[in-house]
């Protein structure tokens, strides 16, 4: 009985937090809104990480998801929209979706940018009808500590991912099992 009471309280807290963290306009984000959010997010990331800025200058493409919402209790999921930039211009729009199950509870918002360093990584994204992260090109997650010592001679992966603007409370962030699919926003 005690666990049922605790479960009810946690569900109410997650629902309440979700109401405040997930405004309705994100469900129907236009191309202009996505572009603006991508630009602002990338500028913020570059201001905080010189490694990200250096990678951005050398990347063949940058896939940016400015706002991803992740939530769950036992069963969870995440969703967000973003854009692929090539030479500073939008080359396509994408969504990111992930479903998960297990011991989890909470709600979190964050963003991430994936720096595609090779032509083959960009081609893989372009040709796949839905890219499941973890299958295909090698991805290296760059954390704040590692980013400080990273240089263009030590960075040898095809894709680098940086997480940013984390808000909320949820155990762990990862990309494994995430599916990225091309979309056509209005």
pLDDT digits (tens, 9 = 90+) for 38-61: 999 999 999 999 999 999 999 999
Q: What angle do CA 171, 48, 24 make, to 5 degrees?
A: 55
Q: Model pTM?
A: 0.76
Question: At residue 89, does pLDDT exceed 70?
Answer: yes
pLDDT level of residue 139 (50, 70, 90 thresholds): confident
Question: At residue 116, does pLDDT exceed 90?
Answer: yes
Average pLDDT over residues 150-165: 73
Average pLDDT over residues 93-106: 84
Tell me the C-alpha distance between 76 and 171, whole Å: 11
Question: At residue 106, does pLDDT exceed 50?
Answer: yes
Longest dimension (CA), the chain: 58
Structure tokens at 87: 């030479």
């Amino acid at each position: 009985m005690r666990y049922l009471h605790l479960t009810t309280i946690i569900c109410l807290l997650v629902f309440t937090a979700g109401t405040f963290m997930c405004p309705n306009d994100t469900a129907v984000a236009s191309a202009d809104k996505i572009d603006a959010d991508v630009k602002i997010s990338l500028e913020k990331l570059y201001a905080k990480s010189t490694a990200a800025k250096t990678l951005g200058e050398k990347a063949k493409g940058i896939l940016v998801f400015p706002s991803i919402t992740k939530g769950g209790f036992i069963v969870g999921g995440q969703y967000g929209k973003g854009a692929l930039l090539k030479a500073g211009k939008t080359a396509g729009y994408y969504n990111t979706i992930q479903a998960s199950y297990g011991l989890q509870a909470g709600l979190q918002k964050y963003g991430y940018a994936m720096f595609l360093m090779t032509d083959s990584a960009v081609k893989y994204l372009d040709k796949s009808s839905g890219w499941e992260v973890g299958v295909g090109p090698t991805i290296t997650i760059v954390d704040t500590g590692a980013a400080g010592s990273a240089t263009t001679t030590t960075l040898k992966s095809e894709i680098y991912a940086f997480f940013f603007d984390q808000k909320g409370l949820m155990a762990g962030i990862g990309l494994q099992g995430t599916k990225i699919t091309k979309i056509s926003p209005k």
